[in-house]
Amino acid sequence: MSGKKLLEVKDLYTYYQTRLGEKIKAVNGVSFELKEGEILGIAGESGCGKSTLGISISGLFPPPLKYGKGSVKLGDVELTNINHSKLRKEILGKKISFIPQSAMNALNPTLKVKRFIVDLVKEHEPNLSEDEIIKRAAERFESLSLPKRVLDAYALELSGGMKQRTIVVISTMMNPEVVIADEPTSALDVSSQKIVIKLIRQLFEEKIIKSVIFITHDLPILRHIATKIAVMYAGEFVEVGTMEQVIFDPVHPYSNALMNSIIVPEKGIKGKKLPSIPGAPPDPRLEIQGCRFADRCPLADDECRKAPIEMREAKGRLVRCIKV
C-alpha cells in the first residue's frame, strides 16, 4: 500500500525562545515520511515535543516557537520558509490541517459555532454560500452524533467532548490532504471515540483526506487506527515501525515501558503492579551528549553517554538505541 509521498520531514529542529531568555529545545532532529494512505501515530512522554512537532510541521511558527534547521516538504512546497500569507491562504486548512490539543479552547467563546465555521470556510472559499457551508457542516455533525443545536450554541455551552468533536468537523471541512490531529479523542467517552475514529476512517476511505498524523497517549486507539507508530522521547523519535511492531514487540527501552503501562479493563488488571521509570527526562534547555534516555534506562552504560545515538535498523524497524 505504498502510495504517493505527501509529506517529508528531514532532520527538523525547532525551539522556543522564551521571554526569560532561554532556549527550550523541543524538537531535536526528527525525520520521517508520510505517504498517501498512511496513518502515523505519535506517542511519547508528556512534554517530549509532540505538539510542538505538530505545529512545526504545519509551517506556522507562532512566537516564541522558532525554526532551527531541517526541512518540511509538502509535495514540492517547503513549509519552513514559506511566506505566511501564502501559507494561510493556500496551504493551511486546504492541504494540511492541524487540530490543536487545546482544541477545546480554540473556539471563540463569544461566537456561535455556526458563525465560526462559516467565517473559516469563507476565508478559503469565498464563493461558497453560507447555506452550502452550513449544510456541509450539518452533515459532518450528524456523522459524529453531535446534536444540531451545537451549531447554534456558544462554545461555553458545550461539554468537553462536544467541543472536541466540533473542532474535528471544523478542521476537516476543507478536505485537507494531511490532517495532523493532536489528542483529538482525549475528552471523549469510548463510544464517541469510536465515532470520531470512524469518521476519520471514512473520510480517509473516501479519499477526502489522504493521510493522518495522530498524536495521542491513548495506545489502544493507535492499535486500531495507525498504520505506523513513532515513539518520541525528549524531542527525538526513538522508535519508528509498523503498528504491530511497536505495540506488540517494542524494542527501545522507553517504548517497552510505555507499552507495558497500558491498562485495559480486563480481568486481572486490578492489583497488577504497573511499571514506572524513575527520574525525569533531561532538561530541554541543556545540550545533551549521548542517549537522552540513558539516565533512566535499565540497559544504559558508559558507552551510551559518549556520543549522540543515531537511528539504526533493528528487527525491521528504526530504533535509537545501541543496546538492543
Ligand X SMILES: Nc1ncnc2c1ncn2[C@@H]1O[C@H](COP(=O)(O)OP(=O)(O)OP(=O)(O)O)[C@@H](O)[C@H]1O
Binding site for ligand X (CB under 6 A): 16, 18, 24, 26, 46-52, 64, 101, 156-162, 187, 284
Percent helix, strand, coil in the chain, to 5, is 35, 25, 40
Closer CB to another protein, 82 or 197, in the complex: 197
Question: Which has the closest alpha carbon to 140: 191, 94, 206, 188?
Answer: 206
Closer CB to another protein, 129 or 145, in the complex: 145
**Interface positions, 59-118, toward another protein (CB under 8 A):** 101-102, 104-105
Q: Nearest distance from residue 214's CB to ligand X, in Å?
A: 13
Judge residue 113's burial from the number of C-beta atoms within 10 Å of its C-beta, 0-12 exposed, 13-18 middle, 19 or more buried: buried
Interface with Mg ion includes 51 (CB under 5 A)? yes
Site string for another protein, 287-306 (x = CB under 8 A): --------------------
Q: Nearest distance from residue 188's CB to ligand X, in Å?
A: 7
- Sign, CA torsion 9/11/17/23: positive
57, 72 Cβ separation under 8 angstroms: yes
Count of positions (residues) in the chain = 324
**Helix (H), strand (E), coil (C) string for 115-159:** HHHHHHHHHHCCCCCHHHHHHHHHHHHHHCCCCHHHHHCEHHHCC
**Interface positions, 37-56, toward another protein (CB under 8 A):** 43-47, 51
34, 18 Cβ separation under 8 angstroms: no
Closer CB to another protein, 89 or 285, in the complex: 285
End-to-end CA distance of the chain: 29
Among Mg ion, ligand X, another protein, none, residue 277 binds (CB under 5-8 Å by kind):
another protein
| Among the listed residues 4, 84, 135, 149, the single contact to another protein using CB under 8 A | 149
Interface with Mg ion includes 160 (CB under 5 A)? yes
Binding site for another protein (CB under 8 A): 16, 18, 20, 43-47, 51, 101-102, 104-105, 149, 157-162, 165, 183, 186-194, 197-198, 201, 217, 219-221, 223-224, 247-248, 257-258, 261-267, 269-270, 272, 274-277, 280-281, 283-285
Binding site for Mg ion (CB under 5 A): 51, 101, 159-160
